[in-house]
Amino acid sequence: MHPRMVSKFKAVIFDLDGVITDTAHYHYLAWKRLADSVGAPFDEAFNEQLKGVDRVGSLELILARAPRTYAPEEKRSLADAKNGHYQELIATMTPADLLPGALRALEDVRAAGLRIGLASVSRNAFTVLDRLGIRDRFDDVVDAATIVNGKPDPEIFLTAAAHLGVAPADCLGVEDAAAGVASIKDAGMVAVGVGSRDVLHRADHVIPSLAAFRLQDY
């Protein structure tokens, strides 16, 4: 039996979309339907601008391209419609939708005796975790509805650390978006970026996917 690995960290806090699973295509389809309904041009390139942006912020970006303005109650209705369509899409997810290396990364962090948190701005994070069959792998999942300031503000990662009872300096954060990496760094944590160094230049370490995640390397 191998001795348990010793880590300088006490907790690892993961983002969800683009790190553990990829719901980007579902978001794209739901936003595309909404954009089409209001006559706003929408394509894959514009969709990239929505990465890491919360629902309200994404809606505002889309409506800025629409031919008319919308009252607050109309915006709420549109946001609800988008979310309803998105929920229909994610209801088809299964554990097969876990990204390569995600389950092993969670298992390795747990085997090392560290706490595990989730810091996602998605208000559907609990549903997605249930569909993936991994909700019980997390000691804490921050409820995005309780967060006032979205990424790149450090609030969500600081909240996760507080819920886990771990000082920010003892946490490792894992993110795939530049705004998320900024959130981790400004929270005073070490950041692992999942993706490209060109985009995630503030990250302390960059890996192509969780398949390359090695706790002992950080």
Beta strands at 140-141 and 115-118: parallel, antiparallel or unpaired = parallel
Torsion sign across C-alpha atoms 15, 21, 7, 143: positive
Task: Determine whether 17 is an active site residue.
Answer: yes
Total residues belonging to the chain: 218
**Rounded to the nearest 5 degrees, what angle is found at the Cα of 80, between the Cα atoms of 86 and 34?**
65
Task: Determine whether 143 is an active site residue.
Answer: no
Indicate which residue of 17, 97, 108, 186 is catalytic. 17
In order, the DSSP letters of 54-106 are: -HHHHHHHHHTTSSS---HHHHHHHHHHHHHHHHHHHTT--GGGBPTTHHHHH
Token pair in block for residue 4: 């348990």
Indicate which residue of 15, 97, 140, 170 is catalytic. 15
Token pair in block for residue 140: 């804490």
Q: Which residues are the active-site residues?
A: 15, 17
